[in-house]
Amino acid sequence: MISKTAFTALGIVMMFFFASRGMCQAKISSNTVGIARADDTNQQRPVATERNPRYRINRDDVLSVSFPLSPELNVDKVMVQPDGYITLPGAGTIFMLGLTVPEAVDAVKKSYAKALHDPIVDIDLLDFQKPYFVVLGQVGKLGQYDLRYDMTVTEAVATAGGFSATAKTRIYLYHRGPSGWIEAKELQMRDILTAKNVSEDVSMRPGDMIFVPEKSITKVRKYIPYGIGTSINPAYY
């Protein structure tokens, strides 16, 4: 069983991992790990997960912005810059990072409000960040993988090469929820694989991360003098 100190340390690692994809701060307890955006001054609590979340615009996404009634303002391709802004003629810079396409349309309309009366705006995603998931820890090949179809946690681990000989079957699934919070869930893979609790084999969502811990015995094995007759079977740990 993972200790409270180890779980807290793991939560801090998760904070730095997700911070690389946006400013955030950690809310850590012995049972859950929550990470909220640094500009969240109201200290909001986690909310229910949206059933069918819309795609949110990321850095380096390429957009097409068109004005059916004012085609001279059309922009065939514009890339979202590292700071989250795009630049449109006659409107200047507009912040797009984290917006859905309908929200981006509203943002463009507001930027042109002084020049155009109730403009009609269409925005298309030409190139965007492909859905992905990440697997870390004791698996055959850790890393980031494309989430091309509906996939469960078990299938995600198999995609990453399956469990290594040093892996625990108690793993952790991290999901980035609304308002920047990260939800952490402990899963007993042995119960899933032996059909004792298949309902735990939840579906992966874009941006999810799986962490597979190391067996406790492997951390001390190198200090044990096997050469003098000591024998330990890791299967019992």
Overall domain count for the chain = 2
* Residue 230 within a domain: no
**Which is it for strands 143-146 and 132-137: parallel, antiparallel or unpaired?**
antiparallel
* Residue 184 within a domain: yes
> Are residues 121 and 66 part of one domain?
yes
* Residue 159 within a domain: yes
Contact 209, 134 (CB under 8 A): yes
> Are residues 70 and 82 part of one domain?
yes
> Are residues 195 and 184 part of one domain?
yes
The predicted-structure confidence for 176-219, as pLDDT tens digits, reads as follows 776 667 888 999 998 998 888 888 899 998 889 999 999 876 55
The predicted-structure confidence for 118-176, as pLDDT tens digits, reads as follows 899 999 999 988 889 999 999 999 999 999 888 999 999 999 999 999 999 899 999 87
Residue 123's domain comprises: 62-127
Q: What is the pTM of this model?
A: 0.58
